[in-house]
């Protein structure tokens, strides 16, 4: 099995005003974006070509939006990438870049 292209742990995943998990996981693997609970159960997944990820200007720096299968998810990641060797979620901007790169859209 190939190494995931992007992985973030400890991510708060919400849908509207409802929090789905406070310590979830976001993973891009084999051309699919997967949103997982802290227990590893799938919340939602879709091919990266069908995913729209963005970093809106009106939300804090640690948040990103992801549209999958007609649903919008608010992802709360880290404000900045963790230092090398330290644990923690990567920055929201890195997530958006990873989705675009995996989908072949670039910048």
pTM, to two decimals: 0.85
Spell out the residues 6+ positions from residue 100 whose beta carbon is closer than 8 angstroms to its own. 53, 106, 107
Quote the pLDDT of residue 93: 87
Spell out the residues 6+ positions from residue 58 whose beta carbon is closer than 8 angstroms to its own. none
Which residue's entry shows tokens 């790169």?
101
> C-alpha 26: how far from its chain's center?
4
Total Cβ atoms within 10 A of residue 52:
14
Instruction: Walk along the chain (107 residues) in steps of 10 and give the mean pLDDT of each run.
Output: 79 93 93 95 96 89 93 86 67 90 79
Quote the pLDDT of residue 88: 62
Quote the pLDDT of residue 2: 63
Quote the pLDDT of residue 65: 95
């Amino acid at each position: 099995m190939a190494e995931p292209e992007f992985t973030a742990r400890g991510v708060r995943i919400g849908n509207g005003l409802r929090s789905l998990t406070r310590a979830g996981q976001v993973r891009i693997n084999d051309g699919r974006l997967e949103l997982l609970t802290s227990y590893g159960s799938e919340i939602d997944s879709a091919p990266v070509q069908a995913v729209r990820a963005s970093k809106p200007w009106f939300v804090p720096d640690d948040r990103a939006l992801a549209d999958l299968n007609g649903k919008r998810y608010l992802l709360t990641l880290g404000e900045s990438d963790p230092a090398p060797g330290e644990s923690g979620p990567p920055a929201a901007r890195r997530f958006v870049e990873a989705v675009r790169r995996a989908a072949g859209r670039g910048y």
